[in-house]
Amino acid sequence: MGKTGVEVTRRSFLKTAAGAAATAGIAGTGLAIGRGTGEAAALPVPKKWDKQADVVIIGTGYTGLVAALVAREQKLSVLVLDKMDVVGGNSVIAGGGANAADPVRQKRQGIEDSPDLHFKHTFEGGDMINDPEKVRYMVDHALEDCVNYLERLGVVWPEKVVRGYGSLYERTHYVGSYKDKAGRSWRFGAANIRALMDKMDEIGQPVLMGHEVTGIIREKPLEGRVLGVEVKAGGKKLYFRAKRGVILASGGFGANIEWVVKHDRRLAHTDTSNHKGATGECIKFAEDLGADTLHMDYIQAIPYEVKAPFKGMFFEIDGEEIRKVSASMPYRIFVNKDGKRFVDEGQRRDVIKFAGCAQPLFEPLPMAKADTIEELEEKIRLPKGSLVEAVRKYNAACEAKKDEEFSKNPTILVPLKTGPFTAICKAIKRHHTMGGLLVKGTTGEVIDRWGREIPGLYAAGEVTGGTHGANRLGHNGTVDCMVFGQLCARTVAKVKPL
């Protein structure tokens, strides 16, 4: 323990041969975004198509896989493509937690909740710039289309919900686990992806890995129906026709430093938690067809274990009492290099991002473990007595159920009394891009810069904007993908085939 779930998952993922392949790298797409570059970069309609299906889905994260499964339930033929060699994008390295008002679990814990309260928290947590229609649709379908859907595929959620990091309320299902047919156990986002992929295998739906979409084809540059996609695979250029529609499930752009810097210069010197393929080029391809975007400047960055050449910003301290309650970050304490707490650890992610970035930087140290706080303080080279004093004050706050210093919510005040204690050196890393394509919240249709739906083009998950507003509540990401991936598939099923 002592590590957040997401980090454990990411680390173990990167250890695998598959993970190594995923880090092989995808060329950045540069800055030639359609808007502001004048003429749209139109792709000609090919004379011959290499493959065709009712729906072409780009991406094998939660969004793409669930869209494929639901499209197949609707009796559609499906092509699923991914440019990487490994399935799962950011989803497979994610924590995989999911927020949903859950009458059964929450009732047992005496927690009052409802989709309305989930809406309020998501909307207020996003500074009310979120698309209310989209948020409404998400919270109303969160339990059924995310938590219960994955449960039906065999994902086992814990009996208790917790306040997942950044979720700001006790409605997080964290974390799911899954046992595959060979008896192997999976946790975190990898559990969700394995369960989705096992279902894909069961219905005989392949995914085409190493297939990079390099453009979207439309009847005319800014008019008419989207017809398919241009693909690069095995050194060849191929054309895949979509008889009913193309679903973009291609994720965010957190790994595209050029785009990040363009939208939020403050993150220029940060590392990312994202997989190498999170470069966002499908946003550009859609913009070439006139698609609009929103909230591109809102880039979430959160604490992660840090290693040189990046600098440390603070230490995350954990103890036995906390580990017994939750593996989630808000229950721990953060201290800077002076041994002082500097923020309510249960706060919104953007608050923690700015507070973390404001701390003096230092050379990172490896994770430390000690039986006493004094020993831990020495191991991580904090000023003598500083951590002891910070922990003394914090334990007093836990006792009094009142954090005078930072007003941390009393429900997550758990003392640090029993060792072993651990300290992990952390820094803020680019984590999630809240902006993306503008879509209609009740259909998933991509909207152009003139407010019109682009016929045949749909998008869901991190490639879209509007769900999270200025600040994504932790664990609304999985739900966003699972809910809107399904919605896109249902919308496409209603389209008359070409």
Distance in angstroms (rounded) separating the CA atoms of residues 297 and 465: 11
Q: Does 475 bind ligand FAD (CB under 6 A)?
A: yes
Contact pick of 106, 395, 471, 478 for ligand FAD (by CB under 6 A)? 478
> Which listed residue (62, 119, 149, 240) binds ligand FAD by CB under 6 A?
62
Task: Report in angstroms how near the CB of residue 370 gets to ligand FAD at its nearest.
Answer: 28
Q: Where in 81-100 is the site for ligand FAD (CB under 6 A)?
A: 81-84, 89-91, 93-97
Nearer to ligand FAD, 368 or 488 (CB): 488
CB closer to ligand FAD out of 46 and 419:
46
- Least CB distance to ligand FAD at residue 92 (A): 7
- Is 458 among the residues that bind ligand FAD (CB under 6 A)? no
Q: Is 215 in the site for ligand FAD (CB under 6 A)?
A: no
If one asks whether residue 462 binds ligand FAD (CB under 6 A), the answer comes out as: yes
Decide if residue 273 touches ligand FAD (CB under 6 A).
Answer: yes
For residue 60, state whether it binds ligand FAD (rule: CB under 6 A): yes
Determine which residue in the list 130, 256, 274, 486 makes contact with ligand FAD, applying CB under 6 A: 274
216 counts as binding ligand FAD under rule CB under 6 A? no
Decide if residue 471 touches ligand FAD (CB under 6 A).
no
Nearest residue (CB) to ligand FAD, 84 versus 387: 84
Determine the interface stretch with ligand FAD among 100-108, 366-374, 441-449, 476-484 (rule: CB under 6 A): 476-484
| Residues comprising the chain, all counted | 498
- Single-letter amino acid, residue 70: V
Binding characters for ligand FAD, 369-388, by CB under 6 A (x = yes)? --------------------
Min CB(196)–ligand FAD separation in Å: 10
Report the 10 Å Cβ neighbour count for 311: 15
| Beta carbons within 8 Å of 437's beta carbon, 6+ residues apart | 248, 283, 286, 291, 292, 293, 446, 459, 463, 464, 465
Residues 222-251 touching ligand FAD, rule: CB under 6 A, are 249-251
For residue 6, state whether it binds ligand FAD (rule: CB under 6 A).
yes
- Identify the CA nearest to 213 among candidates 243, 246, 254: 246
Subset of 429-448 contacting ligand FAD (CB under 6 A):
431-432
Chain contacts with ligand FAD (rule: CB under 6 A): 6, 10, 58-64, 81-84, 89-91, 93-97, 189, 212-213, 249-251, 273-274, 277-278, 281-282, 431-432, 461-463, 475-478, 481
